[in-house]
Amino acid sequence: MSWAESHDFVTGEFMLSALLQTYIHNNIIETAPAKAVAAGDIFYADAPHHLQRLPMETADALKSLALGPDGVTPMWKGSAFKQQPVFNTGTGNTGTSVADMVSQAITVAAGSDVLIIASGQQKEAKSSGTGNAVHHRFSLYRDSTLLYEDDMQQRALNGASIPCTSLWFGVWLDVNPGAGTYAYKVRGYYTAAATTGTPTYAAEIAAFEV
């Protein structure tokens, strides 16, 4: 069945069955509601005056539309962030036991992944002592769960005001942590073989729900 260009009825014309069948019946069955089969169907044209239904993807799947491999038929494709990214920064002094540098909470839906991108710096000026090994540790947590940790080992020379600096950049995809609100944190501390100055830190964290 195909769409027929609408008929202009004129005065005195007989409503012949063929006329009504062609321009009313056959056109009605080409409309979207006639073709709708299930909730979530959307409709696209695959030729002039001809619609097709495209069933919806699985529940909660964020998709865009693209032409399929045949270059004609649309399909659901891709992904999208489920919310805008959230972001926080922190500064302070690092201690010798692990503590938060920066924390960012995000509430995610069931089935979501969380992409974390974070960076930080610890910098200190050694004030005294004879040792020369300094550890600046950066770790990424989800609440109280350690996701991973980097140990940046630096050589801090003897003498007053001899500095050492560690820079850190981390990316983590937290796959399907489950529905809920989570605090993602950059945590850190330092250890040194000798007395050092207390490091200062700066850290940033961004969280994306995908």
Partner 1 sequence: MAWSVPHDFVPAEMVSHTIMNGVRDQLKETAPHKASAAGFPYASGANALAFAAFASNANKTLRANSSHNAVEAAGFPFRQAPITAELPLGNISWPAASAADILSASITTTGGKIVVMAYCWVTEVLTNLGGGPLIEHYITLRRDTTDLKTRTVEEHLDTQYTWTSSVGYCWVDSQSAGTYTYKVRGYYVNHNTDLTAQPNGPQAVAYIHLWEI
Alpha-carbon radius of gyration of the chain: 31
Q: How far is the CB of 103 from partner 1 (least distance, A)?
A: 15
**Rule CB under 8 A: which of 114-173 touch partner 1?**
117-119, 121, 123, 125, 155, 157, 159, 162-165, 167, 169
Going by their DSSP bridges, the two strands 180-192 and 99-108 should be labelled as antiparallel
The yes or no reply on residue 11 touching partner 1 (CB under 8 A) is: no
What H or E segment, with its residue span, contains residue 34? helix 32-35
The yes or no reply on residue 179 touching partner 1 (CB under 8 A) is: no
- Residue selected from 6, 8, 39, 181 as contacting partner 1 according to rule CB under 8 A: 39
Written as one letter, the residue type at 128 is S
What H or E segment, with its residue span, contains residue 92? strand 86-93
DSSP state of 14: -
The yes or no reply on residue 45 touching partner 1 (CB under 8 A) is: no
* Displacement of CA 30 from its chain's centroid (Å): 39
C-alpha span between 43 and 11 (Å, rounded): 36
- Span near partner 1 by CB under 8 A; candidates 55-63, 134-142, 143-151, 189-197: 55-63
The residues binding partner 1 (CB under 8 A) are 15-18, 20-21, 24-25, 28-29, 31-34, 36-43, 53, 56-65, 78, 80-87, 89, 117-119, 121, 123, 125, 155, 157, 159, 162-165, 167, 169, 202, 204, 206
